[in-house]
Amino acid sequence: MTNLANIKILVVGSGARENAIVKSLYNSIHKPKIYCFGSTLNPDIINKSIGYITGKLTDHEAILKFALNNNIQLALVCSDDPLAAGVTDTLLANEILCSSPTKAQAQLEWSKTFTRDLLAKYDISGSPLYKSFDINNFDTAIDYIKSLKTQFVIKADGLCGGKGVKVQGDHFDTLEEGLKFCQEIIDRGTTFLIEEKLIGQEFSFFTLSDGEHLSDMSPIIQDHKRAYEGDSGPNTGGMGTYSDANHLLPFLSEEDKKQASEMTKEVARALKQEIGVGFIGIFYGGYIKTRNGVKLIEYNARFGDPEAMNLLALLETDFVEINYAMATHTLDKISIRYKNLATVCKYVVPLGYPENPIKGGKVDISELHGNWNDIYFGSVDKTDNLNLLTLKGSRAIAICCVDQTISQAEEKVQELIEKINGPLFHRSDIGKTEYIQTKVDMINSILIEKRE
């Protein structure tokens, strides 16, 4: 392995996911020099980095200038907006190694039509029935919806900050309401997809890629997108996650995991053929286990937030080495290991989140006594008082704990949440045994229905 001692690494982003990434880099035996271009004042990243500035995460010029001024050797662009804006392309053009995808590669995330069409073109199974619409064929949407004979989902193309997808039965009820949303998308000048609604349990499965070789991240994670207990309320960026010691989920089999893994392998091959170069970075498959096997909800081109916390808390292999290997097509030279332990991660979020979140409120973290090992700062700013943070309106602080069982990890998370005081709420049900059982029961019931 190349000498990585004190390698200068740039992390673009300063949320909880990037906090997890920085913690892992910081623990490397190579003692990297960490620089962060963030959008918030993250107290833990500030402590662990030697250069930190804030700005707009899509500001190519500012990011490049910061990278060049600090002789950055390796960069990690961690979130969807800068990836879609091509920040990786700018850094690569200036001979800075990147372990993240280019704009063309990240298309897998920022264009839902591109991804569905890619699977169709290369005959990769796993998509629901779907059709794309634009201003020209918009008037045939009604016929297509009727032909589906199932509930349907409408997805605007492009990044919409989580607001581009509406699911019948969850976000709207009637055909007319659905068509009204289609009209709104068309009026914005955007195209959209209509898909068959899939019924089952969702899970996140990640695969590292260096453009030539793939390495599945073994632990499978389940996120909880809805804001309130029992998976009710509006969609969010993700309120919390869990993973099990055997790296499966209580409703998932090895065979399901294999199906998801195969799909990513085929998609990686197809993408390479389609755009001419291999994908560098993280394939984040959002899958759903249905009565007809594992299906694809969507791909993202980055770590999930909060899934990054679960995965990196379990990672045993040096994270600097992994990123360097991704950037230099040498993933096949390292073996990547994960602890066989369970994880639970929960976010505390501002009251009113996601629709009318309190902004500017104060969070008191003095009871943590500076022990931030399991704490990941998100949409908060540090203040002059080390124990006081200012809420910025989105998911505030993630707490992720590791233990032998999911329920032991969950108890630890709850204990830490009690020590964080402010105008906040969280989902107490995530990771609780009885709640996970409802997911197992749901899968069992749809499988039984199929047999009947």
- What is the contact surface with ligand GLY in residues (CB under 6 A)? 223, 237-238, 300, 304-305, 307
- Please select the residue that binds ligand AMP; options are 18, 89, 195, 429, rule is CB under 6 A: 195
Gap between the Cα atoms of 202 and 365, Å rounded? 33
Query: From the CB of 332, what's the least distance to ligand GLY, in Å?
Result: 27
Phi, psi dihedral angles at 407 (to 5 degrees): -70, -30
Q: Report how far residue 51's alpha carbon sits from residue 71's, in angstroms, rounded to the nearest whole number.
A: 12
Length reported for the chain: 452
Site string for ligand AMP, 21-60 (x = CB under 6 A): ----------------------------------------
Q: How many residues of this chain bind ligand AMP (CB under 6 A)? A: 12
* Cα–Cα–Cα angle for 449, 450, 452, rounded to 5 degrees: 65
165 contributes a contact to ligand AMP by CB under 6 A: yes
The stretch among 100-108, 142-150, 191-199, 371-379 that binds ligand AMP (CB under 6 A) is 191-199
Between 48 and 112, CB nearer to ligand AMP: 112
159 in contact with ligand AMP (CB under 6 A) = no
Least distance from C-beta 155 to ligand AMP, angstroms?
6
Per CB under 6 A, the list member of 262, 298, 364, 403 interacting with ligand AMP is: 298
d(CA 81, CA 78) in angstroms, rounded, equals 9
By beta-carbon proximity to ligand GLY, the closer residue of 216 and 307 is 307
In angstroms, give the least distance from the CB of 414 to ligand GLY: 21
Mutual orientation of helices 16-26 and 307-314 as an angle, nearest 10°?
Answer: 10
CB of 148 to ligand AMP, least distance (A): 11
Site for ligand AMP in 321-360 (CB under 6 A): none
Instruction: Say if CB 311 and CB 300 are below 8 A apart.
Output: no
- Least Å from the CB of residue 251 to ligand GLY: 18
- Which of 21, 153, 294, 312: binder of ligand AMP (CB under 6 A)? 153
Instruction: Kindly tell me which residue out of 41, 57, 159, 198 binds ligand AMP, with binding defined by CB under 6 A.
Output: 198
Nearer to ligand GLY, 221 or 363 (CB): 221
DSSP state of 169: T
Segment 265-272 long-range contacts (CB within 8 Å, at least 24 positions apart): 265/214, 266/122, 266/124, 267/108, 267/118, 267/119, 267/124, 267/299, 268/207, 268/209, 268/214, 269/122, 270/118, 270/119, 270/121, 270/122, 270/124, 271/105, 271/108, 271/118, 272/211
128 binds ligand AMP (CB under 6 A): yes
Residue among 186, 171, 176, 170 at smallest CA distance from 145: 176
Which of 200, 199, 205 minimizes the C-alpha distance to 221? 205
User: Residue 71: how many CB atoms within 10 A of its CB?
Assistant: 10
Residue with Cβ nearer ligand GLY (40 or 300): 300
List CB contacts of 273: < 8 A, sequence separation 6 or more.
122
**Binding interface with ligand AMP (CB under 6 A):** 128, 153, 165, 167, 195, 197-198, 202, 225, 286, 297-298
